[in-house]
Amino acid sequence: MSRFFSSKYAALEAYVPGEQPSDMSRYVKLNTNESPFPPSPKALEYAAANTRSLNLYSDPQSQLLTQAVAKTYGVDPDMVLVTNGSDEILNFAFMAFTDKKNPALFADITYGFYPVFAQLNDSPYETIPLRDDFSLCVDDYIGKKGTVFIANPNAPTGVALEVSEIERLVKSDPDRIVVVDEAYVDFGARSCVALTRKYRNLLVCQTFSKSRSFAGGRLGYGIGDPAIIADLNTIKYSTNPYNVNSMTSAMGIGILEDEEYTRTNCLKIIENRNYTVDALKRLGFKVLPSCANFIFVSSDSIEGGELYRRLKEKGVLVRHFTKERISNWCRVSIGSRESMEIFIEKVMEILKA
Amino acid sequence: MSRFFSSKYAALEAYVPGEQPSDMSRYVKLNTNESPFPPSPKALEYAAANTRSLNLYSDPQSQLLTQAVAKTYGVDPDMVLVTNGSDEILNFAFMAFTDKKNPALFADITYGFYPVFAQLNDSPYETIPLRDDFSLCVDDYIGKKGTVFIANPNAPTGVALEVSEIERLVKSDPDRIVVVDEAYVDFGARSCVALTRKYRNLLVCQTFSKSRSFAGGRLGYGIGDPAIIADLNTIKYSTNPYNVNSMTSAMGIGILEDEEYTRTNCLKIIENRNYTVDALKRLGFKVLPSCANFIFVSSDSIEGGELYRRLKEKGVLVRHFTKERISNWCRVSIGSRESMEIFIEKVMEILKA
């Protein structure tokens, strides 16, 4: 830290992304929930068509892409904001809707960026423990004051909530916002987007990084009441008006025009997840019920950190969190069938050794 | 504004980017200081080579691009941070280095985003008037407490400071940071980057949007002491760790490997600027001495807002600011020779009418 750094941020602990080793090709990479498939060929086609105007600023309103997202989800364009990845819209939501008077409320075990965003914005936050089976009970949030952030499906557990439960929470207090982070929703959970037309206190965030195979392009979006989106736009135009670059915008449109490709890939991931879960259960693993492109696993035969290290030695990267309640678990991204077969093979070697 | 919006931002006035009409092709666009040339062909080559890995997250450290910037400027990689456009690094600098105890200091006439960043971060700021000829005198800043932001060349005037003057300011108080925003430095001004190796309280920000013809790609960077860069990284990892997408990173490297192309384009812009300045002076215009890819002009024959409107009617977009001290001026970006000839022709038509 330099001696110039604002004392506001002196205690800030930044988020630590999953490791990206420079010799990545040596690894079967199951640690950052990426898709094993390339983005739709239509994306590449549109990117190529877009290179002529790169000397010009991207459209600060990202109009064409915003319209494409709106059309995909059957909402009005003024209910959509596209951002530089979904971390950006989550940060905007913490900026706009939490402060000293409006604390953030989220689970003890969830996306590790939420407490960072809260600290960054000097917003108090309260973590609410998941139940013993790592399920989230919305009754634990009802009656509490504050802006709620729920990852659904949750990370790193993969466990999903019913839409009716989230609706019960949203409806219970129209005077506070509920943010539903649906980064992983396309792998078997149900989206709350339709509820944004009914409730004015709901923001749903999604990303192109997972089901749409476009983590490298950085594209996320939020869907909610026009008044909420207007607030988030005020934040955007006060930080980085041209937040989404032209190539990413063009490719995003191509990806949305090829939803069949996305659906097919999601079905393959679900198949590979089923294969992996079955194999792990046969090996005596506990596996939480996952609606995501990852699974959360533990075994009585080997401690979580040890499993992570032994897998890394064998060229398979998974993610291990040191947080006490989950330190015996590993999060395993679901990749190609081949990758999952290698993963299972290595686990078997480790258990036998 | 929704009723949920944090009262922190209730009075925030967001930045207003230069207009991007949807029927842009109807206009000769001289209002957002874009380059008339496409980015280097090497950029497109590298982008094409990069499309295979778009399903994976971009490198959060942007190592290859950071090294390429460092090599270009002869500094160590830990003195460089790349960002999603230079607005992002400017915002990071306001976050990290201004607060209630460290006000921001900048000119009354300069980049209109500085007061927005200050408001956003709840940092007090003081604007220091440029002299009557729109020149900045560093003595007006020496002895004042606060973090200094200087656009050099300045926007929207185009007027540049000598490096020795900025050095005098940096040296005068090692206990405060000076941020030099060099978005337009490649069109005839001198860069302060070399000073970053000598002084620990200097941050230089640049962009790929102007001389490098890559406004649509969104790429900026800051160069400064490793401790300053570490602070900015803490902010980055607390807002958006994967802030630069893979395609932009790859293309940025291609652009840096083709500096000859950039230099040639800058020389063409300088030629076109000379042509335009000469023609306007012959028409009785006042033109400030510009080291940028735009000029700031006024005429006793026609008021600034009127000139902007009449030019727009004739299909030429320039930028007019309503701020009192400069309301009689227009900022005109320097485009291709053909665009500038059309601009001069339209000005002549307007003056004759």
Between CA B54 and CA A282 the distance in angstroms is: 35
Quote the CA–CA distance of B140 and B157 in Å, as a whole number: 18
Give me the residue label for tokens 């659904």: A152
Among B102, B241, B248, select the one facing A245 at the smallest CB separation: B248
Here the tokens at position B297 are 């002009």
Residue of A nearest to B60 (CA): A17
Give the strand pairing for A220-224 and A202-207.
antiparallel
Instruction: State which amino acid sits at residue B85.
Output: G
ipTM of the complex: 0.95
What whole-number distance in Å separates Cα of residue A221 and Cα of residue A85?
7
Starting at the edge strand that comes first in sequence, how are the strands of the sheet with B286-287 ordered? B286-287, B294-298, B330-333
CA distance A228 to B1: 8
Give the pLDDT confidence of A314-327 residue by residue, as tens digits: 999 999 999 999 99
How distant is the Cα of B20 from the closest Cα of chain A, in angstroms? 7
3-state secondary structure at position A56: coil
Interface test with B, best of A9, A46, A55 (most B CBs within 10 A): A55
Name the 3-class secondary structure at B321. coil
CA–CA separation, B173 vs B152, rounded Å? 19
> CB-CB: which of A17, A96, A246 is closest to B241?
A17
Instruction: Say if the Cβ atoms of B84 and A240 lie within 8 Å.
Output: yes
In A131-253 the beta strands, taken as DSSP E runs, fall at 147-151, 178-181, 202-207, 220-224
At A17, give phi and psi (nearest 5°): -70, 160
Any B CB within 8 A of A11 CB: no
* Helical residues (DSSP H) of chain A, grouped into ranges: 41-50, 63-73, 86-97, 113-120, 163-172, 226-236, 246-256, 259-282, 304-313, 337-352
Nearest-CA distance from A43 to chain B in Å? Answer: 10
Q: Quick check: B15 and B112 in contact, CB under 8 A?
A: yes
Q: How much is the pLDDT for B61?
A: 95
B208 touching chain A per CB within 8 A = no
- Give me the amino acid identity at B311: L
* A239 contacts on B by Cβ (under 8 Å): 87-88, 91, 120
Q: What separation in angstroms does the CA of B158 have from each of A56, A227, B265, B330, B333?
A: 20, 39, 18, 12, 10
Contact A253, A320 (CB under 8 A): no
CATH of B18-38+260-352, one of 3.90.1150.10, 3.10.180.10, 1.10.3720.10, 1.10.150.110: 3.90.1150.10
Share of chain B above pLDDT 90, in %: 93
Cβ within 8 Å, pair B54-A36: no
Q: What is the pLDDT of residue A268?
A: 98
The CA-atom distances, in angstroms, between A7 and each of A2, A100, A221, B196 are 11, 17, 32, 24
Q: How many residues does chain B have?
A: 353
Check residue B136 and give its pLDDT.
Answer: 98
Contact of A2 with chain B, judged by CB distance below 8 Å, is answered with: yes
The residues in B 58-77 lying below 8 A from A, measured between CB atoms, are 58-60, 63
> Which residues in A lie closer than 8 A to residue B242 (C-beta atoms)?
17, 85, 87, 215, 218
User: From the centroid of its chain, how far is CA B307?
Assistant: 24
- Closest CB from B57, B201, B247 relative to A34: B57
- CA dist B43 and B253 (Å) reads 7
Quick one: closest CA in B to A241, which residue? B17
What confidence tier does A218 reach under pLDDT thresholds 50, 70, 90? very high
CA distance A11 to chain B (A): 11
Which residues of chain B does A58 touch, with a Cβ-Cβ cutoff of 8 Å? 215-216, 218
pLDDT score of A22 more than 90: no
What does the pLDDT look like over B250-268, one tens digit per residue? Answer: 999 999 999 999 999 999 9
Is the CB of B272 inside 8 Å of chain A's CB atoms?
no
B237: amino acid identity, one letter: Y
Chain A within 8 Å of B267 (Cβ-Cβ)? no
CA distance B172 to B157: 26
Q: Buried b / exposed e across A239-256, counting CB within 10 Å, b at 16+?
A: bbbbbbbbbbbbbbbbbb
Confidence bin at A24 (pLDDT 50/70/90): confident
Contacts of B247 in chain A (CB under 8 A): 47, 216-217, 245, 247-248
| Cβ <8 Å between B51 and A38 | yes
Q: Write the burial class of residue B66 (CB in 10 Å: 0-12 exposed, 13-18 middle, 19+ buried).
A: buried
pLDDT (mean) for A345-353: 95
Residues of chain A with C-beta less than 8 angstroms from the C-beta of B200: 2
A45 and chain B in contact, CB less than 8 A: no
| Candidates 3.90.1150.10, 3.30.420.40, 3.30.160.110, 1.10.150.110; CATH matching A17-38+260-352 | 3.90.1150.10
Q: Which fold has domain B41-257?
A: Aspartate Aminotransferase; domain 2 (3.40.640)
Inter-chain CB proximity A20 and B59 less than 8 Å: yes
Instruction: Please give the Cα distance from B62 to B83 (Å, whole number).
Output: 9
Q: Roughly how many angstroms between the first and final C-alpha of chain B, as a whole number?
A: 45
Whole-number mean pLDDT of chain A? 96
Residue B345 banded pLDDT, cuts 50, 70, 90: very high
Residues of chain B with C-beta less than 8 angstroms from the C-beta of A177: 4
Say whether A43 and B54 touch across the interface (CB within 8 A): yes
For residue B217, the Cα-to-chain-centroid distance in whole angstroms is: 15
Structural contact between residues B236 and B83, judged by C-beta atoms closer than 8 angstroms = yes
Cβ neighbours around B26 below 10 Å, total: 10
The 10s digit of each residue's pLDDT in B106-160 is 999 999 999 999 999 999 999 999 999 999 999 999 999 999 999 999 999 999 9
Q: How far apart are CA B243 and CA B96, in angstroms?
A: 17
Q: What is the DSSP string of B37-87?
A: SPPPHHHHHHHHHHGGGTTSPPPTT-HHHHHHHHHHHT--GGGEEEESSHH
Query: What is the number of CB-based contacts under 8 A between chain A and chain B?
Result: 269
Minimum CA–CA partner of A4 in chain B: B97
Whether the per-residue pLDDT at A65 is higher than 90: the answer is: yes
- Amino acid present at A55: N
Question: Is residue B21 predicted with pLDDT exceeding 90?
Answer: no
Whole-number pLDDT of residue A50: 75
Nearest to A2 among B4, B228, B237 (CB): B228
d(Cα B172, Cα B189) in Å, to the nearest integer?
22
pLDDT tens, A116-174? Answer: 999 999 999 999 999 999 999 999 999 999 999 999 999 999 999 999 999 999 999 99
Summarised one tens digit per residue, pLDDT across range B161-174 is 999 999 999 999 99
SS3 state of residue A3: coil
CB atoms within 10 A of CB B275: 15
The end-to-end CA distance of chain A, in Å, is 45
Closest listed residue to residue A262, CA positions, set A208, A215, A228, A211: A211
Question: At residue B23, does pLDDT exceed 80?
Answer: no
Contacts of A251 (CB under 8 A, 6+ apart): A39, A43, A44, A46, A47, A214, A217, A219, B54
Beta-carbon separation of A231 and B16 below 8 A: no
Helix axes B86-97, B226-236, angle to 10 degrees: 100
Residue ranges of B 282-321 with Cβ closer than 8 A to chain A:
none
pTM recorded for the entire structure: 0.96
Helix axis angle for B304-313 and B337-352, nearest 10°, is 110
Nearest to B6 among A63, A97, A242 (CB): A97
Domain boundaries, chain A: 17-38+260-352, 41-257
| Contact B214/A at CB under 8 A | yes
Tell whether B53 is within 8 A of chain A (Cβ). Answer: yes
Check B5 against A231: CB less than 8 A apart.
yes
pLDDT tier, A26 (very low <50, low <70, confident <90, very high otherwise): confident
Contact check, Cβ <8 Å, A14/B238: yes
Q: CB–CB of A213 and B245 under 8 A?
A: no
